[in-house]
Amino acid sequence: MCGRFVSTTPPAALAAHFDVDVVDPVAAAHRPNTNTAPGSAVLVIRDDGGERHLESLRWGLVPSWAKDPAIGNRMINARSETAAVKPSFRRAVVSRRCIVPVDGFYEWFRPEGRRTKQPYLVHRSDEGPYAVAGLWERWRPPGHGADADRPAPDDVPDPTSELRTVTLLTTEANPVMSTIHDRMPVLLDPSDWDEWLGPDRLADGRLEALCQPAPDGWCTLRAVSSRVNDARHRGEDLLEPVQPLEGAPPSTDGSTPGAGP
């Protein structure tokens, strides 16, 4: 799965990298976050009438039929192998696919015989952003339509607003990732961005083809401080390399370890 990631590339740079046509004002004001956690506002690229838009959505998909947005806390990831048949995701698979640009993501490994886990930052060797395959959804709170007599939940500040949310697709780990975890985000090749962002249903077999594990060369591992375990920590120090715990895999990005977790 993917439960934390890095988002530090400025919105303007992301717009250029992903050939974005329109940058939403909220997205333009997005601040760097080295420890993005579920429930956070995240940058998303989606197609809108043939134009690529960079927008800010909440991480944790809330299906349109949900009675309470709290369900999004359990919908931060979707398995690509089953997303097309799951009630929560199948409509989004058809026409609400998106890209979530991330500068790296975290995964944890527990050495045998230890109670503590070693966190790793997984990133590109060229430090460029990943294009993670995502699905987005829109949700209207109770108080509209058939639910007009039902009060809106307390965590919806504006009961007349439309909540837009996103989930990240995952797939089997490639050999590099498999040394620390059995799953990884779906990382899209630039040649597949147009097809993934398109508004039309994917041709038979294309979802499976697009959601294959990324090539090994796309992923390097860096052991980082256990400070990343606390989502309140967001400083640049989280990205600094440390010496892995005994029994944990070594870093593969050539970084020089610091003081340790």
Q: How far is CA 209 from CA 13, 187, 202, 240, in A?
A: 29, 12, 11, 35
Phi-psi region of 49 (alpha: psi -120 to 50; beta: other; left: phi over 0): left
Among candidate residues 2, 98, 211, 219, the one labeled active-site is 2
Strands laid side by side in the 220-223 sheet: 33-36, 5-7, 104-109, 118-123, 220-223
Long-range Cβ contact pairs of 84-87 (< 8 A, separation 24 or more): 84/207, 87/63
2 given a catalytic annotation: yes
Residue 30 CA to residue 241 CA, distance in Å, equals 26
Q: What is the DSSP letter of 12?
A: H
240 catalytic? Reply is: no
Instruction: Give every CB contact of residue 95 below 8 A, 6+ residues apart in sequence.
Output: 199, 200, 201
- Count Cα neighbours of 226 within 13 Å in the Cβ-side half-sphere: 11
Given the residues 55, 98, 107, 137, the one annotated as active site: 107
Token pair in block for residue 51: 């134009």
Q: Please tell me the distance from the alpha carbon of residue 215 to that of residue 124, in angstroms, as a whole number.
A: 11
Burial of 74 (0-12, 13-18, 19+ CB in 10 A): exposed
- Nearest alpha-carbon partner for 70 in 26, 38, 43, 33: 38
Please name which of 260, 228, 226 lies closest in space to residue 241, comparing C-alpha atoms: 260
Q: Which residues are catalytic?
A: 2, 107
